[in-house]
């Protein structure tokens, strides 16, 4: 039987954190499922991470999300890291176990795949080659999830080639790190193009990429969601390509976290999506 003072608590630790959309997402689900609780932004600086995470059990938190600058530093604090978070190289979700110990997980890859499947349920990673641009934190989550979904050939391009080469060595066979200048020509014959760089984000220039070699059937995905349509997605849409922005990744990574904390697997409803889109 639940405790009479049981009030569900979770939050997101980051610095800065007040821009985060996660409180809106999780508080929508708490209310939708009739659960008494709250999800709060927690402005925690790097030097406070250990104490803040260790305080979660005493504060009655079921866990928390982590954002910049804590996703890597948390490895040194949590008691266990699941294999997917280990491979992704980042922890975006901490779950407080019944004994007060801390589990580190990463649901960004789940979010990426389910964000695509929500829009294109028949999508498969193993159809034809995929081009991925970028080799930062977002790229790692996308690459791990594509490899796990059976992608056979991923052509990886990064402005700083050594980062792409390191990821190809780490993740193995399906990933080929190629020369940055060859990215335009490499779009020939691909089933999918994914931008994981910050280029095209609000306040940043557009990604420098010519789409003339890209088949019009190729799915174009950008993990950016501010703006909702990046210059890359707008150009692809004008060519007739199907497109998906990064909002689905954000919304869907939140689902297994909510489930791990509160025991309910929530859905990304049209109402939730519209509410979040209205704030962007």
Ligand X SMILES: NC(=O)c1ccc[n+]([C@@H]2O[C@H](COP(=O)([O-])OP(=O)(O)OC[C@H]3O[C@@H](n4cnc5c(N)ncnc54)[C@H](OP(=O)(O)O)[C@@H]3O)[C@@H](O)[C@H]2O)c1
Catalytic residues: 71
User: Segment 43-82, which members bind ligand X (CB under 6 A)?
Assistant: none
One of 13, 44, 135, 144 touching ligand X (CB under 6 A): 135
Q: Which is nearer to ligand X, 60 or 231 (CB)?
A: 231
The answer to the question of residue 220 lying near ligand X (CB under 6 A) is no
DSSP string, the chain: ---TT--EEEEEEESS-TT-SHHHHHHHHHHHTT--EEEEEEE--GGGHHHHHHHHHHHT--EEEE-TTSTTGGGGT-SEE-HHHHHHT---EEEE-TTS-EEEE--HHHHHHHHHHHH-TT--TTSS-EEEE--SHHHHHHHHHHHHTT---EEEE-SSHHHHHHHHHHH-TTEEE--GGGTTGGGTT-SEEEE-SSTTSTTSPPP----TTS-TTSEEEES--SSSS-HHHHHHHHHT--EE-THHHHHHHHHHHHHHHHS------HHHHHHHHHH-
Q: Give the shortest CB-109-to-ligand X separation in angstroms.
A: 10
Q: Give the shortest CB-92-to-ligand X separation in angstroms.
A: 9
Q: Which is nearer to ligand X, 20 or 196 (CB)?
A: 196
One of 11, 37, 246, 266 touching ligand X (CB under 6 A): 246
Q: Give the shortest CB-134-to-ligand X separation in angstroms.
A: 4
The answer to the question of residue 224 lying near ligand X (CB under 6 A) is yes
Residue number closest to ligand X, CB atom = 136
Q: Give the shortest CB-123-to-ligand X separation in angstroms.
A: 17
Q: Which stretch binds ligand X (CB under 6 A): 4-12, 13-21, 133-141, 212-220?
A: 133-141
Residues that bind ligand X (CB under 6 A): 108, 111, 134-139, 158-160, 163, 196-199, 201, 223-225, 246, 249-250
């Amino acid at each position: 039987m639940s405790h009479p003072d049981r009030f569900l608590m979770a939050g997101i630790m980051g610095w800065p954190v007040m821009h985060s959309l996660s409180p809106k997402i999780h508080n929508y689900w708490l209310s939708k499922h009739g659960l008494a609780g709250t999800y709060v932004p927690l402005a925690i600086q790097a030097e406070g991470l250990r104490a803040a995470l260790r305080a979660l059990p005493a504060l009655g938190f079921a866990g928390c999300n982590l954002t910049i600058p804590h996703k890597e530093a948390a490895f040194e604090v949590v008691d266990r890291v699941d294999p997917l978070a280990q491979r992704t190289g980042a922890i975006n979700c901490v779950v407080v176990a019944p004994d007060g110990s801390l589990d580190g997980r990463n649901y960004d890859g789940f979010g990426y795949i389910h964000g695509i499947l929500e829009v294109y349920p028949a999508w498969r990673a193993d159809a034809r080659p995929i081009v991925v641009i970028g080799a930062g934190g977002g790229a790692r989550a996308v690459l791990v999830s594509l490899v796990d979904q059976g992608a056979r050939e991923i052509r990886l391009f990064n402005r700083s080639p050594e980062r792409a080469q390191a990821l190809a060595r780490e993740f193995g066979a399906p990933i080929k790190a190629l020369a940055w200048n060859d990215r335009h020509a490499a779009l020939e014959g691909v089933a999918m193009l994914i931008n994981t760089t910050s280029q095209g984000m609000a306040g940043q220039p557009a990604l420098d990429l010519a789409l003339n070699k890209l088949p019009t059937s190729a799915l174009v995905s950008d993990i950016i969601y501010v703006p909702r349509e990046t210059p890359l997605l707008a150009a692809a849409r004008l060519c007739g390509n199907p497109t998906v922005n990064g909002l689905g990744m954000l919304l869907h990574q939140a689902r297994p976290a909510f489930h791990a904390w509160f025991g309910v697997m929530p859905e990304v409803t049209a109402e939730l999506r519209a509410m979040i889109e209205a704030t962007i």
